[in-house]
Structure 1
Amino acid sequence: MTDTPHKGLTIRDVAEASGVSITTVSRYLNGRFESMSDNTRRKIGEVIEQLHYRPNPLAQGLKGNQTRMIAVIVVNISYPFCVSLIRALSNALSSSGYNLIVCETGGRGEREQDIIESLYAQRVDAMVIQTNGDNNLRLAHIATEMPVILVDRQFDIPEVTSVITNNEEVSFSLSTQLFQDGYHNILYVTEQVASISTRMERLTGYLQACEKNHRTPWIGWITRDDLTSIEHVARSVTERLHQGPLAVYTGNALLLEQLYPHLRALDLVIPHDLGIATFDEPDWIQLISPRITYIRQPIDDIGIWTAQRILSALKGEPLTPLAIHTIPSTIIPGAATALYRGN
């Protein structure tokens, strides 16, 4: 075997040859031998010697070799949440000399995988990602070499920290408020939940409010950009008008943006016949009347907290594995659900 280090060797290769996890090899390389048996320590050392593996100093987080680039991977770069998050991260990190590389996955797992691998190859210093959960194993591996923070969506990934809002709690509160405001039925509009934690949590909050208020859940399933599903949900509203005032509550503002013109075409009086509410604060909300009730997410706070944790991690303070940091959202009442308030 040659004494020249093998090019392209990764920490994963060492882990597989040693029969241990990537996390264990990472701890060995960083001199963290606590809870590591002498046999494991000796085996890893022998494999490193045999493979002539040389750790990339940048991947180990040595300050002098940082690229000063932070990757931000989002599902939809035009989504108001993502725009505000990117702005908040940029403002918080730029003063410390870091710049962002922003990428969009479109919610496609393969696209996300390609982006992750490309950014990893460029040796960014950290990753902030809004993931669909298709590449959690790879993110777990990367998180042993650089800070990785999940935003908006939560998955149990070793070595990764998540920052979210209180989706379930605030969705329950808004739904309960709509019932208390006098709406007999609430149509909750959502996309298919799949494994997306935010969708599940918001739906769960709505279902809990229905149970507490002894109301039958009413869910409208929409495929975004699918006109047939959007029109079907809008038509279903007319089927329950005889039961009294009803409200439509959408799980995010992108759904409301597509559904809203169809609701207004029903020629119902807002808020007396129909109340309208949404999760998220659409950028066009101030342009319509009556103003929609909405849930404002603490996006600036999420961005600032994320940036601070990344900076701390890059200075040597490790992220807490599997930690979840929750920042509460706020309900902003609007005239579009003011059935009795001020009417």
Structure 2
Amino acid sequence: IFHTVHTHKPHFVALHCQEVGGKNYEESMTHVDSFVKELLSSDAMKEYNRARVYLDENYKSQEHFTALGSCYFVHESLKNIHQFDFKAKKFKKVAGKEIYSDTLESTSMLEKEKFPQDYFPECKWSRKGFIRTRWALADCAFDLVNIHLFHDASNLVAWENSPSVYSGTRQKALGYVLDSGSNWTMITDQRYDKVPYFLFGDFNFRLDSKQVIESLCSTAIMQTVRAADTNEVDKVIFRESDNDRKVVLQIEKKLFNYINQDVFRENNGTLLLEFDKELSVFKDRLCELEISFPPSYPYSEDCSQGKQYMNTRCPAWCDRILMSTSARDLVLKPETDEKLLTYDNIGPNVCMGDHKPVFLSFRLTTGAGKPNAHKHKCCVVQ
């Protein structure tokens, strides 16, 4: 992340994290606080003299806990930036560095919501939800939404239908963010002015499992193995018809072991983008720059295997940066130099956990067409 900031030198940095504290958050949450303090005091960020950090760490509150972290950094050269107070319904000038953790419900500078439990009945308890903040650079206002959607619980279930049942669950949850939400938090809430918005986080978007498997194993012979006690499908094995019936792909609930991982890395895996279809339902409302980086998940967590995928899931572009059509118009103005736009991953050769972070760097023009128009470099990181 420091390298990305140093390379692009943004005036405003938005960093969205999910699963703050990791899988063992009860033991690891203290490390999050140490990480944030080190981040704020680091030499790499010394020119960012204002910051707002929001960490949902209150894991004891199952009703509200989302494990989301939204961090915002403002460069010393940026003189005119404000953040919206949702309770007071007005913008307030950003000064100093502030950290909010534990119970975020008490701050009016954001809106946070957890998805209804019945959205994902397979999971007894979920941390999935979203956090929204609103910002203004000069006279340009926009929303930043940190989002975490539902995962695929089983590879075997995911490939049963096209699209999968999990795809439908994510579609419903994303629609909830865009349209309904609760009475007090939604992007299209009529109580507030409509502004351009950016959504970035772990959408958990997956390739269409049925179609991608049919493509990868088009000439293979399928074998189904059932559990002796329940007779339910336990694993599916695809073998070559010749070549000593070599195994091409083996699928289990949490295993996706394909014979050649290079297919997900060659040309950044872009040949598989035709199976990345979950965003198409929202194509009239959400935009994305062209993807030119490999699938962002699931990477090995072995520090020596920075480019290797785990054999747990079919690699997919889970981590994304999306925007409303009005936000796209801010980013992609007719005079925009494409060299100033970057949509890429971070640490392609370095272990960054099972998700490889992605970022969008762009120049935001405020007060366009006015004598005092300014251009600010922004970097949003997922």
Structure-2-length-normalised TM-score: 0.28
Higher relative contact order by CA 8 Å / sep ≥ 6: 1 or 2? 1
Higher strand proportion: 2
Flag the structure with larger Rg: 1
Structure-1-length-normalised TM-score: 0.30
